[in-house]
């Protein structure tokens, strides 16, 4: 379960919030933010840790921060108050980016940051229902105003649908066993708490498998969270929209926290940074030339020191690219 920040006591961090791979994010974005009026979109602003550091480092920067969680907007508003004149915060899903930029009168941007996954408060506040380590209502909505909850999925989806979600979004090899166990249990009474679901998943997985790989409910909870919040679908629309909006010289940095996100990011960036014409042409056609270049070789990982200081950074995978031409 990817977590995109941690609440830990660390010198120099406001409210103890430690943004993941902060130094590298700042280093990669800096060359794109040197103009007279740079604009950056933070597509998952969370607690505002990266945003605050970027605003501090670039006194001319205007930052547009997006988050679907109203609590995140509230907290980042407070944190970024010293920079309020240079900040626009929007309660929305990241795939609404084109509309947000249009309304802000900023069709072109110089930087984009995607810090995916859960924020620390979402997982640490038991009532949100994201964590298998607390007993709480089975909720998992990043935006509490939306209708669909994890309980709706668990109790309302067919066995086939549950199996697909667990297999695709949780990469759970015992997806069918778990889905059938859920169906048997909900026939007795609706499954409405995280503990009951976590216990059920543990019992559905063979004992030999349960002894390794952390909590056996981890993959099921990840799959449900992705389904409830349509995370991959939103990213699949939002990332290309951000790339389209970047000016030449603009840069994008993405922090992903599980393999599904990272594979999607890798594919999208590869498509934009690879020649698309037929092979064998003596001179590549301009329309087929890549519009981006990769700034990272593969996915970069946090170093051992950061992981020791902030264990929740361990699953982070960073990729970045720069726009090199219009297309």
Which residues are annotated as part of the binding site for S-adenosyl-L-methionine? 48-50, 67, 115, 122
Contact 293, 321 (CB under 8 A): yes
Q: How far is CA 75 from the centre of its chain?
A: 18
Pairing between strand 62-67 and 39-42?
A: parallel
Through-space distance between the first and last CA atoms of the chain, rounded to whole angstroms: 36
Mention every residue, 6+ apart, whose C-beta is less than 8 A from residue 275: 284, 288, 289, 290
| Binding site as annotated, residues | 48-50, 67, 115, 122
Q: How far is CA 186 from the centre of its chain?
A: 31
Report how far residue 181's alpha carbon sits from residue 140's, in angstroms, rounded to the nearest whole number.
21
Q: Which of 10, 49, 20 is nearest to 313 (CA)?
A: 20
Alpha carbon distances (Å) from 250 to 33, 244, 247, 291, 323: 8, 10, 5, 11, 5
For 318, the token pair is 């960073």
């Amino acid at each position: 379960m990817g977590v995109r920040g941690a609440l830990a006591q660390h010198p120099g961090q406001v409210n103890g919030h430690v943004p993941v791979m902060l130094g590298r994010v700042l280093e990669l974005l800096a060359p794109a933010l040197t103009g007279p009026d740079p604009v950056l979109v933070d597509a998952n602003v969370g607690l505002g840790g990266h945003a605050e550091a970027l605003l501090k480092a670039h006194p001319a920067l205007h930052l547009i921060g997006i988050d679907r969680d109203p609590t995140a907007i509230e907290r980042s508003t407070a944190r970024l108050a010293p920079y309020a004149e240079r900040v626009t915060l929007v309660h929305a899903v990241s795939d609404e980016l084109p509309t947000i930029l249009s309304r802000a009168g900023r069709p072109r941007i110089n930087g984009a940051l995607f810090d995916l996954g859960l924020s620390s408060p979402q997982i640490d506040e038991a009532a949100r229902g994201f964590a298998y380590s607390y007993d709480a209502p089975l909720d998992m909505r990043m935006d509490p105003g939306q209708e669909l909850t994890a309980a709706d999925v668990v109790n309302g989806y067919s066995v086939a649908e549950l199996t697909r979600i667990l297999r695709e979004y949780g990469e759970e090899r015992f997806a069918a066993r778990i889905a059938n166990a859920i169906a048997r249990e909900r026939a007795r009474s609706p499954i409405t708490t995280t503990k009951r679901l976590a216990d059920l998943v543990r019992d559905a997985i063979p004992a030999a498998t349960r002894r390794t790989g952390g909590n056996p409910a981890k993959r099921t909870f990840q799959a449900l969270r992705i389904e409830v919040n349509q995370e991959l679908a939103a990213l699949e629309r939002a990332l290309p929209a951000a790339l389209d909006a970047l000016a030449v010289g603009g840069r994008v940095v993405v922090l992903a926290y599980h393999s599904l996100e990272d594979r999607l990011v890798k594919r999208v960036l590869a498509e934009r940074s690879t020649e698309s014409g037929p092979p064998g042409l003596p001179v590549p056609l301009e329309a087929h030339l890549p519009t981006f270049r990769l700034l990272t070789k593969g996915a970069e990982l946090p170093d051992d020191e950061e992981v020791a200081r902030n264990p929740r950074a361990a699953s982070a995978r960073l990729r970045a690219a720069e726009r090199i031409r219009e297309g």
